[in-house]
Amino acid sequence: MTQADDFGFGTQIRKSPYFDATLRWGARGFSVYNHMYIPRDFGNPEQNFWNLVNDAILCDVAVERQVEITGPDAARFVQMLTSRDLSKMAVGQCKYILITNAAGGLLNDPILLRLGQNHFWISLADSDILLWAQGVAVHAGLDVTIDEPDVSPLQLQGPKSGKIMQALFGDSILDLKYYWLRELELDGMPLLVSRTGWSSELGYEIYLRDGAHGDALWERIMAAGAPFGLKPGHTSSIRRIEGGMLSYHADADAKTNPFELGLDRLVNLDIEADFIGKAALRQIKAQGPSRKQVGLILDGAPLQGPNTAFWPLQKDGVTIGKVTSAIYSPRLENNIALAMIASEYAGLGTQLTVLTKAGARGAKVVERPFYDPNKTIAATGNSFL
């Protein structure tokens, strides 16, 4: 069995409460995300994809660290951080939000959870928003407390995840709506459960609120899922690119604005709140973005894994952008990619050339997401619609 000491990033990289359990269940490799180990290898990534889309997988995503915001002014403060209108966000609801800097650049694209009238969690992508939020609060003049709670999420994703949740929590869990949350207990373990996940499949995130129970929670879920074919797994690059889901630092960074990503719906410039980046985003919208994210189909033999560098994109020998995420989809039987290119070349059907390390490939601009564009599967749990 692989030993914990075989992964030698040092003590500055934090282990999740599920780290030892993932080793027992076959984790072979890890990467670093939000200064933590995240399992990235349970064997064949294509088999991990099929496990996800046909049955269910359990993923250690404790790297989705939480920023907890409480206090009398918590709601006002959270609205300062995001361009999305939160005025109608109910207690118990989750929302996908954008956190932007003063120039309108994207700092994070997390899930916001509202646990109470003055109690929020920001479930992070890969950047230090705890520090950002604490810095913003220094001169905000608002009564808020900002900290990181002892919270460690797991993702249970796939078409059979609902049946596994039913086995764990009973029939009432089936009433949990897409992008809503519920506070629960399981065998005395304090949890929060949400109908969310980074897979574009039916799925749940199970937030453990006491890291001492990490091993017990992992084993409890795997035991409940055994009759349904549950497998340990990792977030699937194949499925998330099929679904057009962003990977921060790959598909977006602090110099990327929401309009380039086609996320206009998350920018509400007419609200009264003066959120950070509002003036810059108003100007960008008026001028129109100079770049746009597009989907691509790449010619040639199946890619052997995801790209590990940004590949230049050319039109008539001139570089006009870059491929940010690329993978072979065995379901679509195509090489698919997300790319950021100059706006004038973003029209559907535009033919481009990708310069990979293995040589040039032809590429065509296509609609994205590549599969289930209306998110029907994640929203309804029916992968056959």
Size of the chain in residues:
385
The residues facing 319 across adjacent strands are 314
CB-based contact 285:316 (threshold 8 Å): no
Nearest to 320 by CA among 312, 328, 331: 312
Q: Where in the chain is the domain with CATH 3.30.1360.120?
A: 4-65+150-240
Structure letter (DSSP) for residue 273: S
Rounded to whole angstroms, how far apart are CA atoms 60 and 50?
18
Residue-wise pLDDT for 8-23, tens only, equals 667 889 999 999 999 9
Strand 152-157 to strand 94-96: parallel, antiparallel, or no bridges (unpaired)?
Answer: unpaired
CA distances from 12 to 34, 66, 129, 320 (A): 11, 18, 18, 39
pLDDT of residue 11: 86
Residue-wise pLDDT for 181-225, tens only, equals 999 999 999 999 999 999 999 999 999 999 999 999 999 999 999
Q: Where in the chain is the domain with CATH 2.40.30.110?
A: 290-372
Torsion-angle region of 216 (φ positive above 0: left; ψ -120 to 50: alpha; else: beta)? alpha
Rounded to whole angstroms, how far apart are CA atoms 264 and 266?
5
Task: Read off the tokens for 327.
Answer: 């993978």
Q: What is the mean pLDDT of residues 44-67?
A: 98
CA angle 98, 99, 101 (to 5 degrees): 135
The residues facing 292 across adjacent strands are 341
CATH class of 4-65+150-240: alpha beta
| Helix spans in 120-210 (H) | 129-138, 161-169
pLDDT at residue 384 tops 90: no
Rounded to whole angstroms, how far apart are CA atoms 293 and 307?
17
Domain 290-372 superfamily per CATH:
Aminomethyltransferase beta-barrel domains (2.40.30.110)
CB-based contact 153:208 (threshold 8 Å): yes
- Supply φ then ψ for residue 60, to 5 degrees: -80, 105
Question: HEC states along 4-42?
Answer: HHHCCCCCCCECCCCHHHHHHCCCCEEEEECCEEEEEEC
Residue the block writes with tokens 């990977």? 247
CB-based contact 61:198 (threshold 8 Å): yes
Nearest to 36 by CA among 125, 144, 109, 106: 125
Rounded to whole angstroms, how far apart are CA atoms 325 and 307?
6
Q: What is the mean pLDDT of residues 299-314?
A: 97
- Tell whether domain 66-147 is in CATH 1.10.3720.10: no
Q: Where in the chain is the domain with CATH 3.30.70.1400?
A: 66-147
Rounded to whole angstroms, how far apart are CA atoms 169 and 269?
41
Using a pLDDT cut of 90, give the percent of the chain over it: 95
pLDDT of residue 33: 97
pLDDT of residue 262: 97
pLDDT at residue 5 tops 90: no
pLDDT at residue 1 tops 50: no
CA distances from 167 to 115, 157, 163 (A): 25, 15, 6
Rounded to whole angstroms, how far apart are CA atoms 169 and 366?
42
pLDDT of residue 4: 55
Q: What is the mean pLDDT of residues 312-322?
A: 98
- Supply φ then ψ for residue 345, to 5 degrees: -105, 10
Nearest to 42 by CA among 60, 17, 55: 60
- Supply φ then ψ for residue 186, to 5 degrees: -140, 115
pLDDT of residue 3: 54
Q: How confident is the model at residue 382 (pLDDT cuts 50, 70, 90)?
A: low
